[in-house]
Structure 1
C-alpha cells in the first residue's frame, strides 16, 4: 500500500482518488475550498462534478495540507492558471522523496512552460511525471474503460504512476516524452474550442473532420519545435485526446465554443461554462507560434475571435480562403 495525495477536489482529481482507493492505496484529497470539502463529506459524493457516484469512506477529504506527510505520490489536479501558486503554497509539506504528478492541461501564460515544467521549476529535486490522454472525469469516475499515458523523463516515476493507477477500467501506457504529451494535452483544447465554434455555426461533419486533422498538424508542428517527439502526437495524448475533446459534450472547451458560434461573447461563454482551458491556452499558444515561427492558422483565427472581437463566421472563411499549398509542405518546419 502506498500513500497518495490528490491536490484538487475537482472531477478528475476525485476520479483518480476512486481508482487509487480501489487499488488499495491510502488516498487523501486536499482542496483549498472548505465549502467543497464539507459538501463532499456531507453528501458522500461530488454532486457538482460526479453526481450519483458514491465515494468510498476510506478516501479522506481535507483542507489541511499536513495530510501530505508521508505521501509517496502527490498529484496536482487544479486549473492550469493556479498550478504555480498552489505548488508554492504547499512547499512546506512536500519533500524531495515524493514523486510529483501533473494531471492538468495548459501552458503558463508568462513563461510558456507546461504544467509539469512549472512544478519541476518549483521542485527541482523531485521526480515529476504526467497523467494525460482522453479521460473525461465523468467517465473515469464511473468506471467507463479509459486509456491514458503516464509520462516522465524518469521512467521509474512513470512506472510508479502506471502501477498505482492501472485498473480494470483505466489502462495506462508509459511514455518518456512529457513535453510532447503535455503540448498535445494543452493545445487540443484550442482545437476543441474551435470545433465547438463550428458546431455553433451549424457547420457539418466534414468541417469538423478537416478542423481536427489540420489541428493535429498545428499541434505537431509546434510541439516538435518545443522538443516533443513526432510520434507522441499520433498517440493517446495527441490525436486521442483531440478526438474526445472535439466530439464530446463533456468537453467544456467544445461547449464554450458552441456558445461563441451561436453569438455569445467569448467572455460570457467562459463565464457560463466555467474553466475553459483552451481560452487561456490560445493566448499563450499564439505567442509561442510567433516565437518559434510556426504556422498555426486555426489558432491564429481563434485568437482573433476570442480576443480581438473578430467574427466566428469570418474566421472560417479566412481559413478556407488561405493560399493554395501542398498538404505536408510545412510539416515540422
Structure 2
C-alpha cells in the first residue's frame, strides 16, 4: 500500500467537504467531487463551500471536479453521500475503481428495504475492493474549522485500518483504527435513532434525568443489536457508540436531535423542514430487523412508531416506564 495515496471524496456536502479539507491539509493530493458543475466551479474560485460550510476557507491544495472520472487512480475513495444513495453510487462508479482500491463509507445507516449493513452493500457492488467505514463523533463544521476531533475507521484487517488512519488523520483530526466493522457501523446508525429519542425528551420537556436514563438504556439495547449481528458489544462504549451519541444526543447542531425535538414538541414531524435525517430511516429498518431476530429494542421500536404516526409520545413514555423491572 502506498504511504501517500491519492485521495478522492465523492459528495460535496458538508461532511464530504470537511473530510476533503482535513485530508488535503495534511496529505496534499486530494480531490473533492460534486455533481453540480456550477457549484464546483464556485468552490474552485472562492475556495469555500458557502452552501454547506459558510465562512470556512478550504486548503489551497484541495482540488475540485464535477467529473466522476476524477476518481481514476485514487488509492482511497471516500463515499460521503447519504446512506440510501450508497448502492447506486457504488454501482455507477464501479468501472472507475481499480481492484484493491480502499473505499471508505462515510455515512451512518442501514439500507432501507433490506436492513443490510453498508459494507455488505458495497462489497456486493464493488468486489475486489477494500471496504472500510468511518464513524464517530464529528460535526462537519468542527472538522473543517480544525477543531480537535477523534473518530474511528474500521477495516477488514488491522493493517488496512492503520494505513487508512495514517493517511486520513491530521493535526486536529485523529482516526483510531478498528477491525469491528459491524459494531462501528451499527453504533453510527443506531445512535442517530437514540439522538432522535433524546430530542423527543427535550421537546416534550421531560428533563435531563430522562435523557441520561435513555442514553444508558439505549446503549444497552444497541449492544444487544451489535452482538446479535456478530459484532463486539464493547464497541458501543467507544467513539462510534457512546462518543457519537453524547455528541448528537446533546448538541443542537445535530439534525437528528432537532428532528426529535420537533416530534416531542409537536407530536409529529409535519412541521419539520430540515435536511435529511438518517435516524428516521434507521429507526424503521432497525426495528424491523430486531423483530425478525427477536432482539429486545423498546426505545428503537418506540421511536420508529412515533415517526410513522402509530404511537404518540405520551403513550410511548408510559409504555417504557411500565416495562417489567429487571436487573440492569
Tell me, yes or no, if structure 1 residue 134 matches structure 2 residue 127. Answer: no
Does the 8 A contact of 1:128 with 1:157 survive in 2?
no
Residues 275-332 of structure 1: CA distance to partner in whole angstroms, max 9, x if unpaired?
Answer: 10000111100011111101111111111111134211221122112122222xxxxx
Shift of 1:130: 1.1
Normalised by the length of structure 2, the TM-score is 0.95
Q: Which residue in 1 is equivalent to 2:293?
A: 292
Tell me, yes or no, if structure 1 residue 313 matches structure 2 residue 314. Answer: yes
Tell me, yes or no, if structure 1 residue 149 matches structure 2 residue 173. Answer: no
**1:236 pairs with one of 231, 234, 239:** 239
Does the 8 A contact of 1:106 with 1:114 survive in 2?
yes
Segment drifting more, 38-47 vs 306-315: 38-47
In the alignment, the residues of structure 2 paired with residue 40 and residue 182 of structure 1 have an alpha-carbon distance, to the nearest angstrom, of 31
Give SS of 2:213's match: helix
Tell me, yes or no, if structure 1 residue 64 matches structure 2 residue 67. Answer: yes
Q: Which residue in 2 is equivalent to 1:103?
A: 106
Give SS of 1:247's match: coil
Structure 1 gaps, min length 5: 328-333
Give SS of 1:266's match: coil
How many residues align structurally?
325
Q: Which runs of 4+ in 1 moved over 6 A?
A: none
Shift of 1:267: 4.8
Q: How does 1:1-333 map to 2 (within 5 A)?
A: 1-263=4-266, 265-269=268-272, 272-327=273-328
Residues 104-142 of structure 1: CA distance to partner in whole angstroms, max 9, x if unpaired?
Answer: 100001221222221111112111111111111111111
Give SS of 2:249's match: helix
Does the 8 A contact of 1:138 with 1:250 survive in 2?
no
Give SS of 1:131's match: strand
Please give the root-mean-square deviation of Cα atoms over the aligned residues, in Å: 1.4
Segment drifting more, 69-78 vs 56-65: 56-65
Shift of 1:264: 5.8
Give SS of 1:28's match: strand
Normalised by the length of structure 1, the TM-score is 0.94
Does the 8 A contact of 2:25 with 2:61 survive in 1?
no
In the alignment, the residues of structure 1 paired with residue 65 and residue 315 of structure 2 have an alpha-carbon distance, to the nearest angstrom, of 48
Residues 17-44 of structure 1: CA distance to partner in whole angstroms, max 9, x if unpaired?
Answer: 1111111331111122335424423442
Structure 2 gaps, min length 5: none
In the alignment, the residues of structure 1 paired with residue 176 and residue 261 of structure 2 have an alpha-carbon distance, to the nearest angstrom, of 33
Give SS of 2:205's match: coil
In the alignment, the residues of structure 1 paired with residue 147 and residue 207 of structure 2 have an alpha-carbon distance, to the nearest angstrom, of 28
